[in-house]
Chain A
């Protein structure tokens, strides 16, 4: 893992300031922050599929946007291919954009309804000055459409998004993401808007594309079953922090953190012989504005003891490659 690190993230934080009303300012109330991402470390190797998983509001999408420099971090280090992403500007930033792309959750909103498929797919090429003639454009578009198995490609060039199904639109979004031959793609819930029968084909397509173009993915999902089947490594996030990370099988089949355990035990399975057991954790996720002291999971944790309320646990290696942030380990 350490030998060919493509993306290195250390101490990444994103605090969104909460707007203060004039009364708050007059009364001198302190500025509050929504701590969406609050100190996250991870590495992604080239060709690796790394998954960020967690419930809504845990900061997984914000992390994905941060590593692509779509938003600026409050603090922390993002090193992509040896370069510090946070400091990139101008030509260097444009160069980075060629290497790192994104696929969004909703293929209905991610494509401009007024552009035809060829223009959607080739827009990145125009922005980066890769193509100069119409013939070149068509050539690239056909190649990309074939890569995402929209065949015959010629039939799709002049169609518009509204003429395509959800699965086909997501293929177009993937084609647009790979047309610049990036090394890295952030895939933010790429299948959660799609029908069950379509999900598998999009996931399989993403795996094929990784083989073909030697890509790495940051795969963001709330669905741990999907994560287990597609990802190499998983990190579980809770309230802006990674609480557990390791190989997909390690984390899913042998979860160590009490939160991960509860999360996995709460997932129903397509087998009537196995039912959801008792869920040991209480309440719901607290607000990321008032993060609990110590371990941020302690108010809901059935095993919490004194230390958990005071000291924030660090990620420590519980077994080779399997890290957990919990005072029990």
Chain B
């Protein structure tokens, strides 16, 4: 097991209003060379989960509980300077949402990658530049891109450059938060393929975060479905897409049209995702769930194994009530 997350809770404080329970008891594991897709609607906590994993959080965020074990060592217990020196970007790197548009417009792409390398590693600038060129080739760009400025690159090229930057220190885990969201379909397909190839070629473990279930299906070995700060279903990509068990997962799959499906009536999920300042009692999906019964309003369902490797948090399934 490369990465194991246990009962992670991270809330944001809103002054005078309380705590936004963005990540509320999340557990999962990630093996070497495995890709985990995290899918959910906006505000479900998927990006907050990502930033908690590398502990880059705003000042009003607080981690209340949990462990993040990387090769068996809990990185949450590490002092910040050790985390920065040994873990962040070295072992767990991230492609932030929209980071392709956060490149510094007046610094050459190569220099920006060099900066990322030299912040963490002692080496000569010339060696770092060579490495930056090599990284650009790894992500399918010409090494001459290093001499260009971000405005000279297309969206797809910028996204590749940002991925190169994340890979600068050969991390074991790459977190990609909505890496294809602003891209056109053809470029999106190229980036999805690139991520899969990098995962295979360099033995990378990938955490792929997206609201787009089709993109998640394309790159993931394992999928976690998040709703209102919690993982409601976790399993192999086949489990989730072909044998979904949680009513939310099922509803989500029915709500999204597939290009190769017959024209069909789309079924929406009634209501809206809850406000995480005061999430519903019991199961957080119960106000929108067609199968909700008394217990769902009172008792929070645990994520339990319904079938080997396929975990579901629903009172309709799992040991306790079945």
Q: Does the CB pair B213–A196 fall under 8 Å? A: yes
Q: By the criterion CB–CB under 8 Å, are A270 and B256 in contact?
A: yes
Measured in the bound complex, the distance between the Cα atoms of B185 and A283 in whole Å is 13
User: Are B241 and A197 in contact (CB-based, < 8 A)?
Assistant: no
- Interface residues of B, Cβ cutoff 8 Å to A: 41-42, 154, 156, 184-190, 192-193, 211-215, 217-218, 220, 237-238, 241-242, 251-260, 263-270, 272-273
A52 in contact (CB, < 8 A): no
Q: A165-B272, A249-B263, A267-B214 are in contact. Are A197 and B257 (CB under 8 A)?
A: no
- With a 10 A CB-CB cut-off, give which of B41, B186, B270 has the most chain A CB atoms: B186
Question: Is the CB–CB distance between A276 and B257 below 8 Å?
Answer: no
13 A-B residue pairs with CB within 8 Å:
A56-B184, A195-B273, A196-B256, A199-B268, A200-B255, A226-B257, A248-B263, A269-B258, A270-B253, A271-B258, A272-B217, A276-B189, A279-B190
A272, B238: Cβ atoms under 8 Å?
Answer: yes
Which of chain A's residues have a CB closer than 8 A to the CB of B257? 225-226, 228-229
Q: Chain B residues near A224: list those with CB within 8 A.
A: 185, 259
Report if A31 contacts B (CB, 8 A): no
Q: Which of A196, A200, A270 neighbours the largest number of chain B CB atoms within 10 Å of its CB?
A: A270
Which among A73-81, A151-159, A211-219, A258-266 touches the partner chain? A258-266
Docked-complex contact A270 and B185, CB < 8 angstroms? no
A32 at the interface (CB under 8 A from B): no
Q: Closest CB of chain A to B248's CB: distance in Å? A: 9
10 closest pairs, A vs B, by CB? A201-B268, A200-B266, A200-B268, A266-B189, A197-B269, A268-B214, A55-B184, A268-B218, A272-B237, A195-B41
On chain B, the residues within 8 Å of A225 by CB distance are: 214, 256-259
CB pair B266 A222 closer than 8 Å = no
| Contacting residue for A279 out of B186, B212, B215, B268, CB 8 A | B186
Residues of B with C-beta under 8 A to A284: 154, 156, 186-187
Determine how close the nearest CB of chain B comes to the CB of A270; give it in whole angstroms: 5
A281 at the interface (CB under 8 A from B): yes
Docked complex Cα distance between A269 and B192 (Å):
13
Q: Is the CB of B241 within 8 A of A272?
A: yes
Contact among A200, A228, A268, A270 with B192 in the assembled complex (CB-CB below 8 Å): A268
- B272 & A167 in contact (Cβ 8 Å cutoff): yes
A204 touches B265 (CB 8 A): yes
B268 touches A228 (CB 8 A): no
* Interface pair B251/A197, CB less than 8 Å apart: yes
Are A228 and B259 in contact, CB atoms less than 8 angstroms apart?
yes
A203 at the interface (CB under 8 A from B): yes
Does A275 sit within 8 A of B, measured CB to CB? yes
Show the binding face of A for B, using Cβ within 8 Å: 55-56, 165, 167-168, 195-201, 203-204, 222, 224-226, 228-229, 248-249, 252, 262-264, 266-276, 279, 281, 284-285
| A270 lies within 8 A of B255 (CB) | no
Q: Are A274 and B260 in contact (CB under 8 A)?
A: yes
- Minimum distance in angstroms from B163 CB to a CB of chain A: 17
Closest to B218 in A: A268
Q: Would you call A266 and B188 a contact (CB within 8 A)? A: yes
- Known A-B contacts A197-B252, A197-B268; the reply to A229 vs B193 at CB < 8 A is no
A60 to chain B, nearest CB (A): 12
Of B189, B214, B266, B273, which contacts A229 at CB under 8 A? B266
- Provide the residues of chain A in CB contact with B211, threshold 8 Å: 195-196
Q: Which residue of A has the minimal Cβ distance to B248?
A: A197
Taking a contact as CB atoms under 8 Å apart, the answer to whether A199 and B255 are in contact is yes
Q: In the complex, which of the residues A165, A204, A262, A285 contacts B266, with contact meaning CB atoms closer than 8 Å?
A: A204
Please name all residues of chain B whose beta carbon is closer than 8 Å to the beta carbon of A269 when the two chains form the complex.
214, 217, 258-260
Distance from A178 Cβ to chain B, minimum over Cβ atoms (Å):
20
Nearest CB on B from A165, distance (A): 5
Chain A residues near B241 (CB, 8 Å)? 270-272
A267 touches B259 (CB 8 A): yes
Most chain A Cβ neighbours within 10 Å, of B185, B192, B269, B273: B185
CA distance A197 to B260 in the complex (A): 20
Inter-chain CA distance A248–B257, complex, in Å, is 14
For B186, the closest partner residue in chain A by CB is A266
CB neighbours of B217 from chain A (8 A): 268-272
When chains A and B are docked, how far (Å) is the Cα of A202 from the Cα of B238?
A: 29
Please state if A272 and B189 are interface contacts (CB–CB under 8 Å): no
